[in-house]
Amino acid sequence: MRDLIPWESERSLFSRPHLNLLDRFLEDFRLPSLFRDEETEWIPALDVSETDAELIIKAEVPGIDPKDIDITLNNDLLTVKGEKKKETKEEKENFHRVERHYGSFARTVRLPTEVKADDVEATYNNGVLKLVMPKAETSRVKRIEVKH
């Protein structure tokens, strides 16, 4: 929508003082990829957090059937793979802008601590995949009281 209102894009160029002028100019500008088709690969955003007892990973994978998500844990490497299938319609549409990504994805992250692989729980709700991984006993922080 900003592209249709020229003064809005000019105003927003200078409304973010934390970015330098070139970063602000290039913020929404993307060059086409020379080595891959943008419809065949995209990368979902991941959040990795932890509590005293577990690691929690959330991945944004909207529009994907949970059956099409493959999760593997190999030592300390967690890999999430899947595919977002493109919707096809019989009627012809004239697109002015296409920003939604389709195709396969794969994300691999190194876990910051050991987890109990057999107790990992995965849930999917409103386009967010949530993995709850209990920490292994060897990686839990144990408090030791000093006796005097």
Does pTM surpass 0.85? no
Domain ranges of the chain: 1-30, 33-87+98-139
Average of per-residue pLDDT across 30-50: 67
Rg over CA atoms, the chain? 21
**Two structure tokens written together for 14:** 């200078």
What is the pLDDT averaged over residues 98-123?
86
- Map tokens 């994805």 to a residue: 105
The residues facing 105 across adjacent strands are 82
Three-state secondary-structure class, residue 20: coil
**Residue 92 pLDDT:** 65
Give CATH for domain 33-87+98-139.
2.60.40.790
Reported confidence tier of residue 145, pLDDT bands at 50, 70, 90: confident
The helix/strand/coil state of 17 is: coil
Local confidence band at 81 (pLDDT 50, 70, 90 cut-offs): very high
Task: Say yes or no to pLDDT of 74 above 70.
Answer: yes
Contact predicate 129/58, CB 8 Å: yes
